[in-house]
Chain A
Amino acid sequence: MTSFACGVVVQLAFLALLPAEAARLRELGIREGSPIHILRNHDSLVCGVDASRVVLRKEVAQHVFAVLQPA
């Protein structure tokens, strides 16, 4: 997720995190297949999930894999 520029919408592919951490992200709406809007990508990653905003520490975001949302 950290390799995408601000403003793009990505589709989440895979969460390479501990089960409990992955479960927390899924509860926050960051789950496989869901579209994620990258709002900021510096020390932390701020993303839009539906109308909510979720902040991830960069080290966490580096373990979240996504692909560009098909147009």
Chain B
Amino acid sequence: MAETVPLQIVRRVALVGNPNVGKTTVFNLLTGMRQKVGNYPGVTVERKVGRLAGEPPVDIIDLPGTYSLSPKSADERIAYDVLMGHLEGETSPDLVVCVVDASNLERNLYLVSQVMDTGLPCLVALNMTDAAEEAGLHVDVAKLEQELGVPVLPLVASRNEGIGKLKYRMRQESLPEPARPRWDIMPVVEEGLPFLTDHLDGILPEHGRRIEVLQCLTNDAMLDHWARRLPAFHAAILAERERLEGLRAPYQQAEIMGRYNWISPVVARVVQRSKADTELTVSDRIDAVLTHRFAGPVLFALLLLLIFQAVFTWATPAMDWIEAGVVSLGDVVRGAAPSGMLTDLLVDGVIAGVGNVAVFLPQILLLFFFLGLMEDTGYMARSAFIMDRIMSKVGLSGGSVVPLLSSFACAIPGIMAARTLANPRDRLITIMVAPLMSCSARLPVYTLFIAAFLPTGTILGILTWQGVAMFSMYLLGTVMAFVAAFVLRRFVFNKGDSSFFAMELPPYRMPRFRQILWRMVDRSKAFVVRAGKIIFGMSIILWVAATFPRAELTPELAQEARILEVRKAERVEGLKATGMSTEEAALLIDEQFAEEDTALDARIASFRIERSVIGWMGHALEPVMRPLGFDWKISAGIISAFAAREVIISALATLYSVGDADEDSPLLREQLKADTYEDGSPVYTPLVAVSLLVFFVLALQCMSTLAIARRETNSWKWPAVMWLYMTGLAYLFSLVIYQGGQALGWG
């Protein structure tokens, strides 16, 4: 049964399986922290590769979950292309491990039968055998192995059982013999196959030709690929389809029926049932409540409210520690380094810029934790189901809910997750509205302005006003995403059939906190690296822009500064005459003149920033932004935030650190609160804060999102439309809020 294959330096093993069979758990157990996440060349489908340590080393590829090798979405296509060696720079794996759910054997074996047809050595990892036993299903492993003709290893990945044996089989020098197809297709289709496979002679390896022909017969997307590469094959497939249609042969379902005609009797022989499969499970009973047609949406909304409340309140102690740490670091650096431009750049630019964003890491970690919890327990899939009724009203399906919920973390994985949608129209609309969902980069902006300008206090003794305000920001983004989807569906993409929606509901599972923490750390690391790269660079640019050109003081300001120095010197001399030491006298006088010093410093700093590059930019934009309640500093911050939203925090930190009126005031929000116009009126009022918050909810300020949208839609047209409609919406809403608020006397 085994043949010896020459051992390569690094063996490549692919993990394939249906969604929700525990494939990623197996991958994590095999590879631990030795994982690399990237993209497949030319596409944005995540490519996860990990190393199984030991001798010989084995690289394990975790392929996207798929129900078949007849791809309908982009990530299913990747699974097929990797196995067939169609991707540039990637050969077919040396071994395929099919992770199979033992409690759903029949459906899972459909994919296994397709993998067997690829002619690659494969083995079956029969996972969740415990769940199968609980459901009254006993699988005869030896018999299954015999029926399939490939090794079968029972596993309970959630308890780390059987993983050792799987590792051993992966490392064994002798690979399983390549599997052979064991099913028959209807004769009328079979008779046309040899002619078609001959076209691929010399183009695809022998083992891959038959399955490629079968896919092309029924899948236009697969066939299109050959139109340019091998027109004769393309034409032959079209002719074969015509022939079969002429004969009224149901060739579209020939493969599925043929495979199941083989699989069903196999399953009947190897599975013994001790319980009727009509018994309600624990998941069914939980679903009766959580996905109830009326209670389900209410519970979903309450859960989201709870999450945002927790994100806002639980993170506060950790945020305070980081905030204090950033201030202390700045003080230490300023105390240790010689005073001058470089120290200013380091403290006011880099430390203030990066530090003010790092402060929000606890909230981001919490948000990722809750999203991970929803994913891990199986509730994320339910949210798609619960929301389908609402989504269908705006012309989308529940399938768009997972990409949209992922966009709460970041629009980039959200846009990428839209690849799972088979309907191209649904996919494009989801991509177009995903950036309206409030991502983690908006969180720092929301937190800063809500904490600084919105009232504290509680509602009903449980919810805080600030938590509710935070939830409202997320709600506004979500509602606007639905409205935008409705408009796009109604007026732009108004052709085509209604959305198809069918999905599997995985059973509820106990969350595995280790895995959630793993993912949480992974995603947060990505945020920090991104913040580190963009914000570090932007902080330096902003500091330079806020510092240069170095304006000369007006004669009046210079004279005022000189007069103050002279007054202080005279007072010091007076005290020295009473016998006080120079240091003591200077210290005392500094204390006495602190208020005057601070006020003058602020005026000088403000004078210089206004004449710097950033001041010029802010002033240039101010006439456009003033109707929204924004002054030149906010306008300058918004310009800088078009690279990435969170940059506004470092921009404001730079602007206010340079113009710092009070060295002892560590909090940016205190500095914002204290800022006034020349007439003494505050720059920031609650109305300005709301207007700014709404602007950030709706505006598209993220270059990475635009770049990903460009890659996913293969054109600049849709990212341009996305930027224009979102920025237009942001301006319009902020304008209405600010002007409306002023008219009502709330300003």
A-side residues, CB < 8 A to B, are 7, 9, 17-32, 37, 39, 42-44, 46, 48-57, 59-60
Q: Across the interface, do B389 and A27 meet the contact criterion of CB distance under 8 Å? A: no
- Using known A-B contacts A23-B256, A39-B284, A57-B502, determine if residue A50 contacts B106 with beta carbons closer than 8 Å: yes
- Using known A-B contacts A48-B278, A51-B103, A55-B503, determine if residue A22 contacts B253 with beta carbons closer than 8 Å: yes
The 7 closest A-B pairs by CB, nearest first: A27-B67, A51-B103, A57-B501, A29-B107, A53-B505, A19-B252, A26-B256
Question: Which chain A positions have C-beta within 8 A of B392?
Answer: 57
Complex: A52 Cα to B503 Cα, angstroms: 11
Question: Count the A-B residue pairs with Cβ separation under 8 angstroms: how many?
Answer: 118
Question: Which chain A positions have C-beta within 8 A of B105?
Answer: 50
- How many whole Å from B139's CB to the nearest CB in chain A? 12
B135 within 8 A of A: yes
- Using known A-B contacts A51-B137, A51-B277, A57-B501, determine if residue A44 contacts B104 with beta carbons closer than 8 Å: no
Question: Which chain A positions have C-beta within 8 A of B398?
Answer: 55, 57
Closest residue to B384 on the A side, CB-wise? A55
Residue in B135, B137, B277 with the greatest tally of chain A CB atoms within 10 Å:
B277
Complex: A32 Cα to B68 Cα, angstroms: 18
Question: Which chain B positions have C-beta within 8 A of A44?
Answer: 385, 388-389
Q: Across the interface, do A52 and B252 meet the contact criterion of CB distance under 8 Å? A: no
B269 within 8 A of A: no
Q: A31-B256, A48-B277 are in contact. List 13 more A-B contacts (CB 8 A).
A: A19-B218, A20-B219, A20-B422, A23-B72, A24-B67, A37-B277, A43-B389, A49-B107, A50-B106, A51-B135, A54-B504, A54-B505, A55-B503
Closest residue to A55 on the B side, CB-wise? B385
B225 within 8 A of A: no
Q: Across the interface, do A23 and B284 meet the contact criterion of CB distance under 8 Å? A: no
B110 within 8 A of A: yes
Q: Across the interface, do A27 and B501 meet the contact criterion of CB distance under 8 Å? A: no
- Using known A-B contacts A23-B252, A44-B388, determine if residue A29 contacts B106 with beta carbons closer than 8 Å: yes
Q: Across the interface, do B293 and A23 meet the contact criterion of CB distance under 8 Å? A: no
Q: Count B interface residues, CB 8 Å.
A: 48
- How many whole Å from A63's CB to the nearest CB in chain B? 10
Q: Tell me what chain A mostly uses at the interface: helix, strand, loop, or mixed.
A: mixed
Q: Across the interface, do B106 and A46 meet the contact criterion of CB distance under 8 Å? A: no
B283 within 8 A of A: yes
Q: Across the interface, do A42 and B277 meet the contact criterion of CB distance under 8 Å? A: no
Closest residue to A42 on the B side, CB-wise? B293
Question: Which chain A positions have C-beta within 8 A of B280?
Answer: 39
Complex: A23 Cα to B502 Cα, angstroms: 12
- Using known A-B contacts A23-B253, A55-B502, determine if residue A50 contacts B107 with beta carbons closer than 8 Å: yes
- Using known A-B contacts A20-B422, A28-B107, A37-B277, determine if residue A57 contacts B256 with beta carbons closer than 8 Å: no
B-side residues, CB < 8 A to A, are 67-68, 70, 72, 101, 103-107, 110, 131-132, 135, 137, 218-219, 252-253, 256-257, 260, 277-278, 280-281, 283-284, 287, 291, 293, 385, 388-389, 392, 397-398, 422, 497-505, 507
Q: Across the interface, do A23 and B397 meet the contact criterion of CB distance under 8 Å? A: no
Complex: A9 Cα to B253 Cα, angstroms: 24
Interface pairs (9), CB distance under 8 Å: A23-B252, A27-B67, A48-B277, A51-B103, A51-B131, A53-B504, A55-B398, A57-B397, A57-B499
Complex: A56 Cα to B398 Cα, angstroms: 10
Closest residue to A27 on the B side, CB-wise? B67
- How many whole Å from B294's CB to the nearest CB in chain A? 10
Question: Which chain B positions have C-beta within 8 A of A51?
Answer: 101, 103-104, 131-132, 135, 137, 277, 281
Closest residue to A30 on the B side, CB-wise? B502
Question: Which chain A positions have C-beta within 8 A of B137?
Answer: 51
Complex: A58 Cα to B501 Cα, angstroms: 9
Q: Across the interface, do B70 and A60 meet the contact criterion of CB distance under 8 Å? A: no
Residue in A51, A54, A57 with the greatest tally of chain B CB atoms within 10 Å:
A51
Closest residue to B267 on the A side, CB-wise? A50
Complex: A19 Cα to B497 Cα, angstroms: 14
